[in-house]
Chains A and B, each alone.
Chain A
Amino acid sequence: MTATEIIVEAADATPPRSTRSVGAYLLIAPAIVWMTLFLVVPMAMIVYVSFWTQTTFKIEPKLTLDSWQTFFSSSTYISSLWTTVRIWLTVLAMTFLVGYPTALFVGLFVKNKTLQTTLLVLCVIPFWTSFLIRVLAWRPMLGKEGAINILLMKAGIIQQPIEALLFTDLSVVIGMTQIYVVFMVGPIAFMLGRIDPNILEAARDLGAGFWRILRKIIFPLSLPGVVVGAIFVSVMVLGEFATSAALSGRKVNLLGNIIVTQVGSLKWALASVVGVILTFIMGVVIAGLLRIVDLKKEL
């Protein structure tokens, strides 16, 4: 997708030019000031407030570990931590498994540029519909009287409607996979598109079978795309709360949902604790993914 291309180009941007940098500082200053005030300061505030003292509807800047203790001593919160990790890993695996064959087809098998672009555009079009409506659209699909059950019953595959489709882990995973899979397909297809067909030709001439070529050549070459896609998907899934709220009937509580609930009842300190934990997980995940490949070098 275009985002990857953009990042690729950003990495090797800027030829060495004039060394006069005063003008550059003036130009960059507004963006830096904006990001500092409205991103860095709020993020720092989350860390700070997580140590504040929470009374019923107020927080006071008296430092304490109370909210941290509350979090780690509550089975509800701990289990939402594990739910988040579980859903994240499942969705990550699903987007990869569902997305890779598509990327393989678009990036490697389709030689016609127009068809390639058309397929990519088809993948992107859903993004021009409200995210929330896309989530909501799964309800009449998965429900007891939903489209899937009707189709399966009409086809005679099942006698009774499957109730486990909606308001479960499964519905959340299905919904998230559909929404985020394109972020996996794009970067992988981009990397696959850059593979020199001669390499594959040479491997085939040497008698390597397709699965062997896929495992030994294609997959390693597409790995940077997988990592970029995994970063996109991870960042979005870890911060999710709307899909789980809409498709789980409040049965699946992610860390994001905890934050929303706590803010709703003005429990700022506890919400901040969850925020810090979420940030920490995210940092570990991104750092871990970046260790797999050196993106700057690969791209």
Chain B
Amino acid sequence: MESRLLKPILAVYVGLFLLFLYGPFIVLGILSFQQGPEGGPQFPIQEWSVFWYKHILGLAPPSRVSPLPIGISLTRSLTLAGMTMVTSTVLGVMAAQAFRRNFKGKSAAFYLIVLGMIVPGVLVGLGSALVATTTGLERHWYSTAFATHVVYTLPFAFLVMLAIFNRFDASVEEAAWSLGVPPATTFRKVTFPLIFPGVLSAMLFAFTLSYDEFSRTLFSSGREQTLPLAIYSTFAVEIHPNVFAFGVLTTLFSFALLTVYAILMTLSVRRAKRVAIQEAV
């Protein structure tokens, strides 16, 4: 039968597809071990070395290749991502909480929030730069860029929380009210602990999106560069394997971040799991 033949063909295809997705990474990983400082960002590898990693960390002897401005821009990016994460998660949880009730203009509000993830970054960046220039506001990564980052990440946090609340059994909140517990305390003691895994996901979304955000930041951050902007500035000039080494390091950093998230997630559901196991015994 045709489809019996089709499955292995598709499986091979998916293998090639994954190679297509990962190919550039593999090449990038290999080239990051190029000899330095003379070795260029291409094959063949003249000699395996960790020169470019040392170069990133400022341990290499000075050479004609100027070091990537990583230290300070990394700090900025992490701070910005942290601010964005907290703000968009708080606003997203509030908005999703509001969406549990019916109110006039609900669908307009939904589209307004979701618009933030649809409008291309270059337009949002341009628009906020225009507003800043015409009103005479100075642009900084912690002010204008922060505002555009939240515009981008809030919809994601909002949609994650909407999905969480959709599966949330509201009768536990009603039970708390009927026990004489005011709504604010109910939220703190009942709702929040139960939606916490969702809040973590919303935070992860917001953090990674903001940390990697670049097209909005380009116009709205002013002179002080965030990390993606620092990388973008290397586009214009000659690239060196130090960018590749840096790519490998950021990927490792992302995985570290994911691991932290996974650990937090496991801890927050561990109780339920342990209970389930004991029950089964």
Contact = CB atoms under 8 A, between A and B. Distances in A.
B72 interface: no
A24 B109 CA distance: 12
Contact of B24 (A23, A138, A239, A256): A138
B119 interface: yes
A126 to B, nearest CB: 6
B99 interface: yes
Given A9-B163, A39-B151, A275 B123 contact: yes
* Secondary structure class of chain B's binding surface, majority of residues: helix
Interface string A131-153: 11110111111010111001000
B112 A260 contact: no
B162 interface: yes
Contacts of A146: 27, 42-43
A256 B27 contact: no
Given A10-B110, A13-B166, A239-B122, A38 B10 contact: no
B239 to A, nearest CB: 7
Contacts of B228: 130-132
A20, A34, A101: most-surrounded residue (chain B CB, <10 A): A34
B102 A30 contact: no
A128 B116 contact: no
A233 to B, nearest CB: 12
A147 B27 CA distance: 7
Interface of B: 2-3, 6-7, 10-11, 13-14, 17-18, 20-25, 27-28, 31, 41-44, 91-92, 94-95, 97-104, 106, 109-110, 112-113, 115-116, 118-124, 126-131, 133-134, 147-148, 150-151, 154, 156, 158-160, 162-163, 165-166, 170, 208, 212, 214-215, 218-219, 227-228, 231-232, 235, 239, 243-244, 246-247, 250-251, 254-255, 257-258
12 contacts: A10-B163, A13-B162, A14-B101, A17-B102, A31-B92, A36-B112, A38-B148, A42-B124, A43-B123, A129-B251, A132-B231, A136-B247
